[in-house]
Structure formats: structure tokens, C-alpha cells
Structure 1
Amino acid sequence: MNKLISEQLVDYLERRDTKYVFGLCGHTVIAMLDALEKSEKLQYISVRHEQIASTAADGYARATGRASVVMCHLGPGLTNATTGVANASLDSIPMVVIAGDVPSYYYGKHPHQEVNMHSDGDQYEIYKPFVKRAFRIDTPELFPDILDRAFRLAESGRPGPVLISVPMDMFSREIDTKYFEKTFKGTLDTIKPALDRNTAKRIAQMLIDAKNPVIHIGGGVVLSKAFKELEELVDFLNIPVSRTLMGQGALSDKHPLMLGMTGFWGTDFINNKTANADVILGLGTRFAEADSSSWYKGVTFNDDKTKFIQIDIDPVEIGRNYPVEIGAVSDLKLALEAILEEAKIIKPEGIQRPKLIEEIKAYKTEFKKSNEPIANDSRFPMTPQRILKDVREVLPEDAVICTDVGWNKNGVAQQFDITEPGTIMHPGGLATMGFGSAAILGVKLAKPDKKVITLIGDGGFGTNPSVLATAKEYNIPVVWVVMNNYAFGTIAGLEGAHYKHNFGTVFKIDGKPYNPEWAEVAKAYGIKAKKVERAEDFEAIFEEALNSNEPYLIDVPMENIPVPTDGIWNINDIYTPKDNVKDGVLISGEAERSDHVSTE
């Protein structure tokens, strides 16, 4: 029996239990819209900008762990979606992008909006640098096979986005349903690799023999949902844990052995623990620049003192930035199970480190105490620390927070305790402004029973305020907390520290701070909103927003206070060169700490 490809594609998505397709219309995808309109199981979420579609889909995939679906038009539709797709790629988020293309029989003839600078019908090439695979449908009968491969590829190994570029005539072609028969059979899941017993035993032995071991965790632990397995190993061997930005939430920030975030936004206490470790077990981390203090030896990590063990699902990451004694490709959930099993055989009584636990407790107590004056300060505009304190007092522990860039990412990761796995979502690799405001739409659709908020700067929110229209149209009850310092505050602080001005980074008219009145803008979209007028009012307004069960925006004027930084980021030495650093390498003495400038 023959049936339209567009209709068979919808059938396929329904069989995969896909609930939502995020997208924006265009003439190349009208046939798909027609098929979606007839579906009783799929809901199409229409947005006003394709970056919102891809970012909302990113949030949905983070919340569910399964590939989300984006549908967009060719040309500007595809390029507008680029930023959200690239953000998902760098954070290892599974996604399938179905993009309309020019008619297959018009390649190279300049049909409307064709991209063909280097070859005819070339638009799918745009995505090649950041997707796992870019397919173009040239033969309609191959569409079912490519669909299956795309979803499996997106979700397996190191997850990430896959593009399927579909010439618009393909949607309207009929093919025999027999070509989709294969997709009805077998499993959708791919079994991931585990550690062999000998490797698990070697790793367990190294951790047990170490005098000062540290487990350093990244976003891979979150993606593999290895929360229980990590905590059991940590508790059994009493090994302290450091984390990257993306590793937040994998182990409670209140766990007695959780040190906190390393690198530029890490403190001296945390960085000293990792720099002086004799064994570090790196789990699902790339040992990236900000987390590693630009790899300045002895600041956060030191391969002269430390033996590194690295486990990752992606073989390309093993040994990329530090030499490894043991490098292993494995699913982290399975790897941690195997290591714990061997550790219990080697040392059944486990290991206790009461002095270390007391030392960590004393450090955390002192760190929190040092923040108390500014966190309790009632000055207005509010301090970012006061905003975080009030949010934490009201927000349920199992609520989901999407951050953005600047204070609301770096400060949250450093100072805001996350205790439940999967309740914090940062834009890490690409660090995209506007991530938080759109990602919460997808997260809330995935977790309708949870409170979902974003802490986002005014610069970040201003990139795509039309998220308000989508939230209103589909009644997605999320809360935007706009931390408003009338600037791209992080960059303003960086520029001010090095060049003593803030040209191009602050919002002014005639020398006076300027921003749209975000609460009034939200109201114009039909969104409930309030602007905070006093620090004492914020907590009650935030609680009202959480309990309103409708989209709600809060505009919070905030003082531009940099995030404290004890680590190092090489960009500071580029702007203000130091005599003991050349081309990112220490040539004499110790690295000087940064000037407490928060950078992005």
C-alpha cells in the first residue's frame, strides 16, 4: 500500500512515543504540518524564532534523556536554528532536526532560498561541523532507513544532534509502506559498553592504594544517570568529589564529600585538593579550559603529581588534555557498578576518612558564612547573592532550574546548592545567551508536575523575548527570573577590569541606564509579570509566581557584582599579560590568581 512520506513520518514518530515536535513553519514543510495536524498523539509547538525551537527541544531532551525533534524551513530557518542545535551538540544532547529543503529536481537552478555556494542543494553542509551526521534525502525509499539511523545515532555513544535535510517534494511523495516495515521491528535502544572486570579491578586498586584520591565528575555522569552508583562508590571509599559546571547535580552539593566546582570559578580550597591529588578518576569530563584553569600546571590539576584515570563514552576524549594511566570507554553507570563491585572484593570493609570530611565541612561552613552579609543585604538594586538566597528558600528541592550565561550560571554553580539529580541545566560548551528562557519551555513539557524556572540575565532574555508568545499560546507555566543589571554584565566586568571602561557592554540612553520594561513587555504578550521595587518584596513575588500555575515573568533590578574567582582563565593574561606567562604556559614561579573578574 502506498502512503505519503509525511504521513508515514508522523506514524514513525508516534511509534517512537515522540510527544512534541518543536518548529517554525515555511513553505518547504507545509506537507509535514498537514500530517501533524491529523495526528492525535503528536503536538506541534510553534515558535516565533527557530533558535527557540531548537533550544526548547534541547531542554526537552535533557529532561527526558531521549532525542527531541525539531522541524524547520530551509535557508534562514535552518540557520536560525543553528545556535540551539550547536549548543545541544557541545553539551551532548540528543536531537533530530528535520529540515525542509529545495525541490530535489531544482538543485542548482536557484530555487527560492537555495544555498548553493559550493555545491548545488548545499544547505545541509552548514550543520556538518556540529552534528553527528548530516543526511539529505535523495531517494524517497531510503527515508525510513535514514530516520531509524538518525534517532539511533542521536541517542547512542556520546549523544548529540543529527540533521535530516528533506527536499520539500519528498514529503509529498508516496512510497510503499513496506519500506517502513523494518522500523516496526526490533528495539529502539542500543546497549552501551561496560568495563571489563580486569580494568574495573585495576581502577579500584588504584583508588584504594591512593593517599589523596579525588573523583572529578562532568556532565557525562548526568547524561548516564549514574547518580546512585556514584554516591555508593564515594561513600564506600570515602573519596572526595570535585565537579565541572556540567557535573552539578550528579551528587548533592550538600554531600559531605562534595568539594564543589573546580577551575576558574572554583575556590582555592577545591583547586588545591585536585592539584595535589595523587590519583584522579575523571568521569564524563573533557577536562575543559574553564574547569581546568586553562590547564596552568599546579593551579587546578598537575600531571607531575597526579595519575589520571579517565572513563568516557566517547573515545576521542580519553587523554585529550592530561596523560592517563588508565583510559576506558564505557557507560558510566555500568563502569561505576563494576568498580564498586571490585572495590568491595579488594577491601570489603571500605575506607573511612573522618578528618577529610570534617575539613570539607569546615570549608563549606566558612564559605557560606563569608557570603552571608551580602546574601542578607537589603540594598536595591538587589545583590545576586540575595536573589539566590531568596530563590533557594522558596523553590522546592525537586524543581528544575535552567540557567543562562554570566552570574546566573557561574554564580549558581558556585554558590547555589543543588541536591536532587537532574534539577539544574546549564548551557556549558557553547554557553549560549538565551538558553534558559527557551529551554524551560521544553523542560516543563517534559516534566509538567515540576516547578520549572530560569535564572537569566537581561542581556540573555533580550535575545529572544518571543519565548513569551509560545508560553502563552500553549499555556506552559514557567517562571522567568530576569536578573537585570542593564548590561551584558559579565563582559562589562571583564572589560572594566582590564580597560577601565565598559564600551559596548552596558545599556544606556543619554548616559542613563536603559532597558525595555520587561514586565510590561511580558504583559503585552498576555503574560503575568511584576517588577521588583524593593529587595524585601522579591521572595513573596517569586512565591506567587511559582504558585500561579501560569507563565510568569519577574524583572529583578540587580547590582552588577562579579562572581568571585580563585582559579585562572588565560583570557585575563591575554588582555593584561604577565611576565611569568607566555602563550598560556607558566615559564617561572607560580601562576598569579585572577583579579576576581567573572568572565564568559
Structure 2
Amino acid sequence: MSKIKLTDYVTEFLQRKGIHDFFGYQGTMIAHLVDSIEHNPNTRSHSSYNEQGAAFAACGYAQAKDACACAYATSGPGAVNLLSGVADAYFDSLPIIFITGQLNTYEYSGINGLRQQGFQEIDIVSMAKPVTKYAVQIREPQDIIRELNLAWQIANTGRKGPVLIDLPMNVQRGEVCDPVYDMEFPEEETETAVYGQKNSGNGAAFYRKAVDKADSADADVAAEDILCKLRKARRPVFMIGHGAAGSAEKNLVRIAREHHIPVITSVLARSVLSWDDPLNCGCIGGAYGHRYANMIANAKSDLLVCFGISLCTRQIGTKVHEFAKNAEIVRVDIDPYNLQREIHEGGKDEKCFCVSAEEVAEKLLADEKEIGSYGEWLSVCQRIRKELTQVDDATPERYPNRMIAYLSGQLGDTGAVAVDVGQHMVWSYQSFHNKQNQKLLFSGGHGAMGYALPAAIGAYYATGKPVACICGDGAFQMNIQELQWVKRENIPVKMIVMNNEALGMIRHLQRDYFDCVFADTSDGSGFSSCAFADVAKAYGIPSKRIQREEVEDASGEFLEQNGPGLLEIMLENGTYAYPKTCLGEPIHNQQPYIPKQIFDELMEI
């Protein structure tokens, strides 16, 4: 009988699965795990300065690598600090193993209703359950074999997502007999674990009921239906979301390229295609999507084939039943609950398949000879993109977009660019000229300010290439302490802070709906920003502050330097993000409005 210390087993297990970089913050009740990571010659621990930073670093790692990541924290406040990153991973389908330390099991009193069992004790499992696929506390060392294998499979199959394992300190130092590293579980068992957690024990039965509401869970049937509709369509579009990440998106792009099918993406799937790819018809968005993507999808196409994209109101607008009402919609999604979002009223001209995009893409690729060519339609889409881009480029208020377009050229050698949440996020997904295989990373569903800097750090360890992050002054201050992480490990991350000395997106809202009362969003009204370049210098990081009109003359040489660097760009206080859909308008008619002649011409072609 072989024996191994529990935390050595956990470290060895994850290392064998391909995880060599662990993100976290040391503490008494996680010290055994950190010691095991330190002693394993194939693993490395990277310490953040707030556990939220570690969690977001794991998110950036998982996004950039399309692989599982790991983050850890001690008990109590350390574990709670992870939760924003846990939620980010859950909503954006990122496979991450979160490990928390916990009070020794023998310190539990057994008294029901006791507010706290001991110092820094908290029921992190109950807190994490709503934003994990699976969360469990280990009470007996031998249980870790089943639970870790199960958690790994749950995180990395189906709709991927985070799991959390809570390890009491005495369990961490316990021994495991005859360790197993490749245990597999039937689908029914993982479904019961995942959906039982969400639905009070109904488990797989509840999940299966949701699946049955979709038309089929068979990839062959889905592929055949799509092929049939493609044969009849004149103006099809592939809509690709993050649920098609990996081999699915690669096969779908290959099919689209061969048959000249336009491609529209979600924000999270924004870098599926390079900026200048002739298939690239933009990013859908109910409020701030590309004009041309919104027009093509909402008003011009006769068939939308949707792979792993939720079609939530953030993407298609609040008037859901008005979206693409003249087009057929086929939806392929592994999450049956997403498919319960009814787009067309009564489900008219809408077909849903609860099956993975990967399986369907493989079937379509095998039968792609049955798909026609849509070159003439693609040319129409390219004209729409060109003319509406010219409309936007002529809008004076969009100078930050032009700035982003220029800066993207200076950041062309980066493997990944993490973008925070705010106006700069809109400017970036609208106008960053990403190259092929250069990933743009976003906090999508959770929309967490403070995401970008630690996510960029995680992306560096995932890619081994220089990285960048783009932030606003509000967002950057959320995790500004991670500048010390950058300095300590000399991480080659270029940090762009677009400083308008305001919470610009909320300020825009206040202008339109609150009579220009800029409460808590502007300097002098409850909000202010620091001198970021000076702060970076205090951390020992090269930095530079420039005015917006100096970007083209003063940024290039600074951004070309090796190693980390922070570029602070001062903008006007009253910046705005355009185009923007006004409440109640169709998403293809955004402000500032398209000149009527151009609009009418494009709607006619």
C-alpha cells in the first residue's frame, strides 16, 4: 500500500493534468498546500496581493490557454476574496479548480446555529455553490481521491466552469492511500452532482427535463437540420460565442472560409477572427455592438446559425422578440437552460439543439460539400462594414476608438490583451485591431472591474509571451496592488490606463437620465483618480503620462521597451462610447444615427 500526503497528492494530480502554475495568497490554513507546490519540481506558486487578484489571474490563464487553471486561498476572508473571480469563471464557462483552506475539523463544536466555529472559519462551500458547478468540503483524507477526480471531470466537461474544494487544515496534512489520478465517472453521476447542487437534490432528472425541452441532443440531427437550412438560405450568418471555444470555432471558421459565410461573434469570442479577416462581420451588441454586426444580424440575414452564444438581452437588445424577426434561427448550445430563452415569439422559425458546438462542427465539416457558396452575400456584408465604419470614424466623440486602433498596432506582439470593464471595454472590442491568434480577454457575464491587470498576469503564464491590459482609471484602482506582483516577477505586461478622471459609463448614464447630476462618478462629486504613472514609479515600474493628442507621437517608443510598463493617457472628463442603441430603438439603428441616405441604401441591398 502506497501513501502520500494529501496536499502532495493534490499538487501531483493537478500537475499531471497540465497545471504547473498556481495562483494564490499564503495563509496559515492553506500553508500545507503551498508547501507541497513549493516542493514539487514541476509546479510553481505565484502570490498575488489580494486573493481576488489570484482568482482573476486564474481566469486570464484559463481564457488565454483554453485550459484548466488553479487558484487557492486560506480560510475566512481569504476564501471570500476569491468569490468575485469564482463568479467570473462561472458565468464565462472557465474551468478552474479553486482550493480553500479551512479550520481543523476537530475544532468544530457541533452546535447548530453557532455563528462561527473558530477563528477565520466561514462556510465557503455554501457561499460558493451558486457560482460553481460543484463545491465540497473534504472531511476524511481518503475522500480526496474521488472528490478531486470528480471535480476535475465536472470542471472540464459539458459547459465548463469552476469547482471549489475546501480543505480543513488537519485533512491537508493527512495521508492518502493508493492514490488514483485518472478516475472517470459516468455522465449521469456528474449531472447528479452538478444539478443536484443547484436544485435541492433533483439532480440529473431536473437537468434531463431541461434537455428534453430542446428539440434534440443528437449532433447528427442538428448538423442535418443546419445543412438543410443552409441549402435554402440566401444570406446565412454563423454567430459564434464562447461556448464554441477551441476546436469548434476553428472548424466553424474553416467551413465559413471555404463557403464565404459571414461570421459575427459575441464579445467573449471577439478574437475568433483577426480584425482584418474578410469573414469578420463584427461583434453583436444590444447597446454597443458594431453597427455593421447589428445591421447584418438583425435586419439583413435570412438565417442565423448560432453556436455557443447565449443571445441574452446584452447581445440582442431588450426587445427580444424583435431580434432578427425576418430570419430563421438555429441554436446549438450545450446548456439546456440557455435554450429556454425564446427569441422569436412562440418559437416561430427557431430551432434549438442541446448538444456541444464541437460535435456539430465536426459533423458539418465532414459534410461541408453539401454547403453552397455565399460570396455575393459576403460582399454585401463587407460593403455594410466598410460604409458603417466610415460613418463611425467620422464621429468626433469616438476619438478614444481611434486611439485604441493606433495602440493596437503598438501592441501587436502581445499574446493576449486583457480588457477591463467600462467605456474602455467598449472602445476596445469595437476598435482593437487584433492579429490572428492574438487573444482579447474580457470579463463577460460578471463584468468585474479590476479584472484586467491580474488576468493579463495569468495570461502571461499561460502563453509565455508579452501581454497587455487596457483599463480605465476606475477599474485599474480596483486591483492596483498587483503592480507589486508585476514588479516582483518582472512580468512583461504593458498597462494602458485611459484616465478620464471619471466613471465614464455611469457618467454617460447620468447625463441622459439623471439631469447631469454626476453623483460619485466625477472629480468633485464623490470620485477622484490618482496619478497612475507616479504610483507605478513608486512600485519601481517604468511609466509615462501623456495627453490624448500625444498618443501617436509619444507612445510608440515607450511601448516598444522590454519588460513591464504603464502608460497613462489623459482623456477629456466627458468621454462617451458610441455607437449606442437608444432605449426602444432597433439595435441596427444606433446613435449618432446613420445618415438617412446611407441607411436606406444599405437596407435595400
Alpha-carbon distance in 1 for matches of 2:102, 2:13: 20
For 1:113, the equivalent position in structure 2 comes to: 120
Matches within 5 A, 1:146-161: 146-161=147-162
For 1:336, the equivalent position in structure 2 comes to: 361
For 2:272, the equivalent position in structure 1 comes to: 250
Deviations along 1:228-250, whole A, 9 cap, x unmatched? 31223223443322222122122
Task: Report the secondary structure of 2:479's partner residue.
Answer: coil
**Contact 1:257-1:357 within 8 A present in 2 as well:** yes
Task: Report the secondary structure of 1:52's partner residue.
Answer: helix
Of residues 263, 284, 289, the one that matches 1:266 is 289
1:351 aligns with 2:373: yes
1:137 aligns with 2:138: yes
- Going from structure 1 to structure 2, the CA distance change for 1:514 and 1:202 (only over 3 Å counts) comes to closer
Comparing 102-111 with 468-477, greater Cα deviation is found at 102-111
- Going from structure 1 to structure 2, the CA distance change for 1:456 and 1:392 (only over 3 Å counts) comes to same
Deviations along 1:568-591, whole A, 9 cap, x unmatched? 5xxx57xxxxxxxxxxxx9xxx79
1:456 aligns with 2:432: no
Comparing 490-499 with 382-391, greater Cα deviation is found at 382-391
- How far is 1:422 from its partner? 5.3
For 1:582, the equivalent position in structure 2 comes to: none
Alpha-carbon distance in 1 for matches of 2:5, 2:469: 41
**Contact 1:201-1:343 within 8 A present in 2 as well:** no
Of residues 148, 167, 183, the one that matches 2:181 is 183
For 1:58, the equivalent position in structure 2 comes to: 59
Deviations along 1:174-220, whole A, 9 cap, x unmatched? 233x1x1x216789x9xxx9954343122111112023322222112
Equivalent AA in structure 2 for residue 293 of structure 1: G
Deviations along 1:312-351, whole A, 9 cap, x unmatched? 222322242323743223332332231243341x35xx32
Alpha-carbon distance in 2 for matches of 1:196, 1:507: 52
Equivalent AA in structure 2 for residue 210 of structure 1: A
Of residues 308, 325, 342, the one that matches 1:321 is 342
For 1:477, the equivalent position in structure 2 comes to: 492
**Aligned-residue identity in percent:** 27
For 1:292, the equivalent position in structure 2 comes to: 316
1:101 aligns with 2:102: yes
- How far is 1:68 from its partner? 0.7
For 1:564, the equivalent position in structure 2 comes to: 578
Deviations along 1:469-524, whole A, 9 cap, x unmatched? 11111121101100101011111111111112243343424x79942111111111
**Contact 1:562-1:596 within 8 A present in 2 as well:** no
For 1:531, the equivalent position in structure 2 comes to: 545
Task: Report the secondary structure of 1:508's partner residue.
Answer: coil
Comparing 250-259 with 60-69, greater Cα deviation is found at 250-259
For 2:446, the equivalent position in structure 1 comes to: 430
**Contact 2:419-2:442 within 8 A present in 1 as well:** yes
Of residues 198, 202, 208, the one that matches 2:225 is 202
List alignment gaps of at least 5 residues for structure 1: 116-121, 574-585
For 1:365, the equivalent position in structure 2 comes to: 386
Alpha-carbon distance in 2 for matches of 1:87, 1:469: 23
Q: Higher helix fraction: Structure 1 or Structure 2?
A: 2
- How far is 1:87 from its partner? 0.8
For 1:543, the equivalent position in structure 2 comes to: 556
Matches within 5 A, 1:18-33: 18-33=19-34
**Contact 1:57-1:69 within 8 A present in 2 as well:** yes
1:3 aligns with 2:4: yes
Task: Report the secondary structure of 2:471's partner residue.
Answer: strand
For 1:503, the equivalent position in structure 2 comes to: 518
Task: Report the secondary structure of 1:22's partner residue.
Answer: strand
Of residues 231, 237, 251, the one that matches 1:229 is 251
Two-structure CA RMSD over aligned residues (Å): 2.8
Task: Report the secondary structure of 2:511's partner residue.
Answer: helix
TM-score for the superposition, normalised by structure 1? 0.85
- Going from structure 1 to structure 2, the CA distance change for 1:463 and 1:596 (only over 3 Å counts) comes to farther
**Contact 1:244-1:291 within 8 A present in 2 as well:** yes
For 1:280, the equivalent position in structure 2 comes to: 304
- Going from structure 1 to structure 2, the CA distance change for 1:100 and 1:452 (only over 3 Å counts) comes to same
Alpha-carbon distance in 2 for matches of 1:242, 1:592: 14
Alpha-carbon distance in 1 for matches of 2:319, 2:237: 17
Alpha-carbon distance in 1 for matches of 2:526, 2:127: 41
- Going from structure 1 to structure 2, the CA distance change for 1:279 and 1:534 (only over 3 Å counts) comes to closer
**Contact 1:310-1:319 within 8 A present in 2 as well:** no
Equivalent AA in structure 2 for residue 149 of structure 1: L
- Going from structure 1 to structure 2, the CA distance change for 1:279 and 1:455 (only over 3 Å counts) comes to same
Alpha-carbon distance in 2 for matches of 1:78, 1:233: 44
Deviations along 1:341-372, whole A, 9 cap, x unmatched? 3341x35xx32332x33332333222333344
Equivalent AA in structure 2 for residue 561 of structure 1: T
**Contact 1:282-1:309 within 8 A present in 2 as well:** yes
For 1:579, the equivalent position in structure 2 comes to: none
- Going from structure 1 to structure 2, the CA distance change for 1:152 and 1:515 (only over 3 Å counts) comes to same
Alpha-carbon distance in 1 for matches of 2:35, 2:258: 56
Deviations along 1:387-432, whole A, 9 cap, x unmatched? 2132123222664211111222212222333342451111110111
List alignment gaps of at least 5 residues for structure 2: 112-116, 188-215, 594-605
Alpha-carbon distance in 1 for matches of 2:42, 2:555: 34
Comparing 193-202 with 35-44, greater Cα deviation is found at 193-202
**Contact 2:52-2:85 within 8 A present in 1 as well:** yes
Comparing 473-482 with 512-521, greater Cα deviation is found at 512-521
Alpha-carbon distance in 2 for matches of 1:143, 1:137: 7
For 1:583, the equivalent position in structure 2 comes to: none
- How far is 1:268 from its partner? 5.1
- How far is 1:30 from its partner? 1.5
Alpha-carbon distance in 2 for matches of 1:171, 1:82: 22
- How far is 1:282 from its partner? 0.9
Matches within 5 A, 1:403-442: 403-421=419-437, 423-442=439-458
Equivalent AA in structure 2 for residue 524 of structure 1: A
**Contact 1:238-1:352 within 8 A present in 2 as well:** yes
Alpha-carbon distance in 2 for matches of 1:543, 1:272: 35
Comparing 471-480 with 326-335, greater Cα deviation is found at 326-335
For 2:416, the equivalent position in structure 1 comes to: 400
Task: Report the secondary structure of 2:417's partner residue.
Answer: strand
For 1:519, the equivalent position in structure 2 comes to: 533
**Contact 1:203-1:326 within 8 A present in 2 as well:** no
Task: Report the secondary structure of 1:66's partner residue.
Answer: coil
- Going from structure 1 to structure 2, the CA distance change for 1:541 and 1:28 (only over 3 Å counts) comes to farther
Task: Report the secondary structure of 2:544's partner residue.
Answer: strand
- How far is 1:374 from its partner? 6.1
- Going from structure 1 to structure 2, the CA distance change for 1:429 and 1:20 (only over 3 Å counts) comes to same
Aligned residues: 550
- How far is 1:443 from its partner? 0.3
